[in-house]
Amino acid sequence: MAGPNELLAALDGVGADRRRGGYSRHVFDDAERELREWFVEQAEARDLRTTTDQNANVWAWWGDPGEGAVVTGSHLDSVPGGGAFDGPLGVVSALSSVDLLRANGFTPRKPLAVVVFAEEEGGRFGVPCLGSRLLTGTIDADRAGALRDPSGVTFAEAMRSSGADPARIGRDEAALRRIGQFVELHVEQGRGLIDLDRPVAVASSILAHGRWRFRFSGQGNHAGATLISDRRDPMLPASQLVLEARRIAAGVEGGRATVGRLVPNPGGTNVIASAVDVWLDARSPGDRPTRSIVEDLSGAAAKFAAAEGCELDVTEESYADTVHFDAALRDRLSGLLDDAPALPTGAGHDAGILAAEVPTAMLFVRNPTGISHAPEEHAEPEDCDSGAHALAKCLAHLAG
Ligand code: GLV
Ligand code: MN
Ligand code: MN
Ligand code: MN
């Protein structure tokens, strides 16, 4: 029997990023493999039956796998330099819930499973929720297999070198039929629960969000020998894009636009870049305003590029429309949890992808820093315990 804090402590140090701080755990890298193996060991130690599906998601079954199961879980990968809780808290709370239910003598009437989704953050191949998007067929399998990491390795190649068969990726009807309801527990990525002075919330909605790559191409050249008047420097429109993204998003209600990654090619101090890739993360409460942020920014970026004699190419890398979680399920779980408040979130989750297929809910655990995707992300041990107890209660209600 292990609580979430004890289980989380076992992951300490795995994938610790000494350069950036925090954790960098990316699908199929050494750290993420170690975490997957740890998960399988933990599941087997609980007599759960483990399988890896055709899309690299790992499942652990309490009893025989069957249709209409109650499923819980999250992910073990991280953003570059991320916190210890985003993802792992949902996985350790799921394992800990199994222990709590067993200790209470509970036997599920429905099949119950814990799942670990692959590449939730898109930290290696660029598309977030890749495992759940593949499972549900919301990304084309050929496109997914051809996604490249920064060193040029494709998702298919990475999968093959981890011993899996990339020929089978794509919508998995049998696995989907086995999911009756899905509940994901997650550290809160904001200040909602601090303000409400509560340890646990249920999720109401997820913002519409997506990622776009803006590639500005100019002329690589010598930083000293090239007159300012002779330059076609793609770093200029790239920089203007960063400022314009903030300006446009600030004018949209609930709008957010972020450039968290900008890569000049070739990237030398004394080299005018030949091209700059700028990744935009844009979000807002709806499809229309999110699309309008990107359209307005694309228009502005084309002008910035032209003024510097550069070319622009814009590619949509991923998109997910607004998610409203199943209201009946949300209210039922809130009622079970002393009327836990319902909070919206700006963060994407595998639960958001699954919500289009099956009744889905999320539980959030208070984060006293309000910070996420950074090493300062936190949850107090008592709140992690409250979260695991809350999850166990929900699972008992749904599977009992
Ligand atoms: C995932 O955490 C995201 O919202 O980017
Ligand atoms: Mn995240
Ligand atoms: Mn997450
Ligand atoms: Mn020289």
Please enumerate in sequence order all residues whose Cβ is within 8 A of that of 68, keeping only pairs 6 or more positions apart, or say none: 110, 111, 177, 178, 180
Residues 70 and 112: beta-carbon distance below 8 Å: yes
Residue 122: closest CA among 294, 371, 373: 373
pLDDT, position 336? 98
User: How does pLDDT run across 18-53, given as a tens digit for each residue?
Assistant: 999 999 999 999 999 999 999 999 999 999 999 999
Percent of the chain with pLDDT strictly greater than 70:
100
**In this predicted structure, what is the pLDDT of residue 67?**
97
Mean predicted confidence (pLDDT) in 300-318: 98
Could you tell me how far CA 343 lies from the centroid of its own chain? 18
Torsion angle of the four alpha carbons 3, 351, 295, 234, in this order, in degrees rounded to the nearest 10: 40
Separation of 235 CA from ligand 3 center, angstroms?
32
What per-residue confidence (pLDDT) applies to 1? 87
Q: Which amino acid is at 173?
A: E
CA of 211 to the centre of ligand 2 (A): 14
- Overall average pLDDT of the 301-326 stretch: 98
According to the annotation, is 270 in a ligand binding site? Answer: yes
CA of 279 to the centre of ligand 4 (A): 31
pLDDT digits (tens, 9 = 90+) for 145-189: 999 999 999 999 999 999 999 999 999 999 999 999 999 999 999
How big is the CA angle at 126 (ends 187 and 351), to the nearest 5 degrees? 35
- Ligand-binding annotation for 209, yes or no, is no
Task: Tell me which residue has tokens 């030949």.
Answer: 274
Cα–Cα distance list, 122 to 125, 132, 144, 155, 247 (Å): 5, 12, 11, 11, 26
Kindly report each contact of residues 262-271 with a partner whose C-beta sits within 8 Å and lies 24 or more positions away, as own/partner.
262/238, 264/234, 264/235, 264/238, 265/220, 266/220, 269/223, 270/222, 270/223, 270/224, 271/220, 271/221, 271/222, 271/223
pLDDT, tens only, 188-226: 999 999 999 999 999 999 999 999 999 999 999 999 999
Stated pTM of the model: 0.98
Mutational pocket test of ligand 1: of 121, 290, 322, the residue with most ligand atoms within 8 Å of the beta carbon: 121
Q: Which domains does the chain have, with CATH numbers?
A: 4-207+322-399 (3.40.630.10), 209-320 (3.30.70.360)
Alpha helix positions (H), the chain = 4-11, 30-45, 88-103, 130-136, 141-146, 155-161, 173-177, 192-196, 235-250, 287-307, 327-336, 350-354, 381-399
* Ligand 3: centre distance to CA 120 (Å): 7
Reduced to 3 states (helix: H, G, I; strand: E, B; else coil), residue 171 is: coil
Rounded Cα distance, 181 and 67, in Å: 10
Cβ atoms of 187 and 398 closer than 8 Å: no
225: helix, strand or coil: coil
Residue of 256, 373, 377 with the most ligand 1 atoms within 8 Å of its CB, for mutation:
373
Mean pLDDT estimate for the chain:
98
Coil vs helix vs strand at 132: helix
Q: Is 37 marked as binding a ligand?
A: no
Q: Which residues contact 108 (CB under 8 A, 6 or more apart)?
A: 62, 63, 70, 101, 395, 399, 400
Q: Ion ligand 2 — residues with CB under 5 Å? A: 86
